[in-house]
Structure 1
Amino acid sequence: MNTLRAVGIGLFVLLTGLLQPLTPTAAQPRADRPMNRAEIAAKLKLNAWTVGLAAGLLEGAPIRLAAEIARVVDESDALHVLPVVTRGPTHNVEALLYLRGIDAAIINADALEQFRTLVPNIDQRISYILNLFPSELHIFVRPEIRSLADLNGKKVNFNTPGTTASYSGPLIFDRLKLDVEKTFIPHPAALEQMRRGEGEIAAVVFITSKPVDAFLRGRWDPGFRFLSVDIGDADFFNFYLPSTLTSRDYPQFIPEGQDVLTISVPTILAAYNWPQGSDRYKRLTRLVDHLFSRIDQFHAPGFHPAWREVNLMAQVPGLRRFTPAQEWIDRSLATRPQRVPAGTSQR
């Protein structure tokens, strides 16, 4: 009995020792161990000029744009842009409104428009820094589809949930009054089914900056084409803009000298309207200065070709420009050399 009691006491002591917190050592620090001055200084330095940028899905174009913005504007400890992967265009707006640490976002104009009914004061909370470039609507169809009306009742793929096509595509089709069977599978799989005539998919809808690599690679049988969409054919909101697909964009599908009418969705670099003079406001002000003063660097090889079309002066209808961005533009215009009319003498 004494032996059993001794064993029991020994086990109790052993277990009690195992359950006690370990004494912190250099090799195994406690999570709540206070940071020393050097660590505190490093933490403050790392976070001082960090800007969170909501950028969308990994397979989307906005995440590439965000990564390129970060590459150009980052400057050691002076500015650090962190692109953040989200669940798509609508979630970028939500992130800008509600997610901690997010100061800016790449959003689509129609996604922002949908929030106006849910957030009545959204125009006071979000403004735009830059009108990046349009994302063109591509409706790519099988040979038997000759017009938009032929798509009624057919399967149309809008890519995976969270992409621009999966959000804006159905909205546009509703305004075109097209009643289609919507599918949301990855576009590469849908295109392969179309090529082989499997799965009964009649069309795929891309909404992204042209040209799309998927239509530049490989060979397609005669008859595959892009359908025209006339902006006058439907009750479109003013944030959809007229655009064209040309033979220069897609020589395999569009004969030289011909255009395919379509529409585009403006893609915007938006900012949260932090109180003027606040820490987050100062970070965004520095982002504007670095981005605008280095905009020509985006024209270099390796960057998205659409950067060459970006105009700092381009406006976004129905939305105010972020104040530091407008001030930067005003200063630039004020210091721009004035043209002297021909025939005017200079003294």
Structure 2
Amino acid sequence: MLVSKSAIAAVLALSCLVLVKPQVADAQAQRARGASAAAISYEEKKRQTSDIAVTIVTSGITCTCARFAEDIRDIVNDLRPDGLRVLPVLGVGGLQTLEDVLFLKGIDMGVVDEDNLRLLKKRDPALFANIEQRVHYITRLYNNEFHVVARKEFKTFEDLKGKKVSFNLKNSQTEVTADAIFGMLKIDVERLNYDNNEAMKKLREGEIAAMIVVSGAPQSALSRFRKEDGVHFLALDERSLPNHDLGAVFDNYLRARLTHEQYPALIPEGTSVPTVANRALLVAYNWPESSPRYQRLAKFVESFFDRIYQFHDGSRHPKWKEINLAADVPGWNRFKPAADWLARHKGALQSRDGRTLADLRPAFDQFVANYTASTGKKALSPRETEKLFIDFTKFLESQVTSQSTR
């Protein structure tokens, strides 16, 4: 769908009418707010602070999921009394994250891998019988690659038989995935449980043969390896393991590649290392719709999805390029506020000429800058520009809807 300058100008003019209020009214409102703020009690402040908070549990601080939670916090946070505050919480990761969303008091959301629901139900069918009704996914985030870093004397997975290999922490996503994949390959190793930093130290010193990390590439801890450390990534494909049936692995995981651009110290330029990956999801506890926590999560979804274009900025983790809000996840139920938002914005998410809202944002910002400069109007504040772009996306949606009904 082509967007004309006149359409943007119309939205800009309408928004300016809303944004520019009479000075007298502003002064009165400010005085009223000042008087109200002075009257706020300690208990009221506690209530206000709690009423705007939502939590996201992730795994360790070096995990890509922690970086994603930080990015979400930085963009979505609005600390006004009626705003929204995102609180990332560092957990263990893996199946424990999903259990934390289910059982841990104060946890609203978590970043988990797609297979976690199936694995928990397999672990305890009675306890987790209706888990898909209690935890819903908000969106698919990115792919978590399976990294196996070994000393250079170990060329393939076969060479690791009987050797010491770190499967990361107990119940972490890495341990869960590594256990499944090594089981499918029927390769027995001496399993150890070290965090990333300890495993890297032992690998450099030759105390272990390999370490495993399941995380979105580039993973920050692994990026600290240098060429002189004498380690490399092991390939996982038919060529590297010709005597193994990899059908079960590829039935359960996505084919993926680690690249030189992600790990320049470990992968030569112009080459890549085949591996597999799992999908990372942002999930939420499905509170009753009438509950305050459900309403806060619904507000979070609205704010997060409305600002999804901001996550494509070059200052954010490169994995944000993989997000697809509309992608379905088999075996999981979509959180209703997310499904409702997608239904309302179905037309605007993908314009008719193939451009997404994220693609339109730079052109929109340039137009607003040119418009205010040429008309001599005062430049809009970041909050005003943000509101204007949201109004603009709603305008686009109305245009798509009206055209589709003609």
Secondary structure of residue in 2 paired with 1:290: helix
Rg: which structure is higher?
1
Q: How does 1:161-310 map to 2 (within 5 A)?
A: 161-196=170-205, 198-199=206-207, 201-217=208-224, 219-221=226-228, 224-230=231-237, 233-236=246-249, 240-310=253-323
Q: TM-score, normalised by structure 2?
A: 0.68
Greater share of helix = 2
Q: In the aligned structure 2, how far is the partner of 1:91 from the partner of 1:111? A: 9
CA distance in 2, matches of 1:222, 1:39: 55
CA distance in 2, matches of 1:252, 1:93: 34
Deviations 1:57-107 (A, max 9, x none): 344332332222122111123212222232322222112111222221111
- The 1:80/1:235 distance shift into structure 2, 3 A limit, reads same
Equivalent position of 1:54 in the other structure: 57
Partner in structure 2 of residue 151 of structure 1: 160
CA distance in 2, matches of 1:332, 1:258: 40
Matched, 1:88 2:93: yes
Higher mean displacement: 227-236 or 313-322: 227-236
SS at the partner of 1:92? helix
Structure 2 gap ranges (5+): 1-38, 239-244, 355-402
> Which whole-Å deviations, capped at 9, do the CAs of 1:136-185 have from their partners, x for residues lacking one?
01111222212211111111112233543233222221122110001112
Structural mapping, 1:17-56, within 5 Å: 38-56=41-59
**TM-score if structure 1 supplies the norm length?**
0.79
- The share of aligned pairs that are identical, in percent, is 36
Q: Which residue of 2 aligns with 1:79?
A: 84
Deviation at 1:133, TM superposition (A): 0.7
Distance 2:339 2:252 in 1: 21
Long gaps (5+) in structure 1:
1-35
C-alpha separation in 2, matches of 1:183 and 1:328:
44
Contact residue 135 and residue 208 of structure 1 kept, 8 A: yes
**1:124-163 pair list within 5 angstroms:** 124-163=133-172
Residue 121 of structure 2 is matched in structure 1 by: 116
Instruction: Kindly indicate whether the alpha-carbon contact (under 8 Å) linking 1:145 and 1:202 is maintained by their aligned counterparts in 2.
Output: yes
1:106 counterpart letter in structure 2 = V
Aligned in 2, Cα 1:236/1:281: closer, same or farther, shift over 3 Å? same
1:170-225 deviation digits (Å, cap 9, x = unpaired): 222112211000111233333333334x32x1111111111234444453359742
Whether the 8 Å contact between 1:195 and 1:220 is mirrored in structure 2 is no
The SS at the match of 1:150 is helix
Distance 2:60 2:232 in 1: 27
Q: Is the contact made by 1:299 and 1:308 (CA closer than 8 Å) also made in structure 2?
A: yes
Q: Partner amino acid for 2:72? A: I
Q: Secondary structure at the match of 1:235?
A: helix
TM-aligned CA deviation for residue 282 of structure 1: 1.2
Aligned residue number for residue 376 of structure 2: none
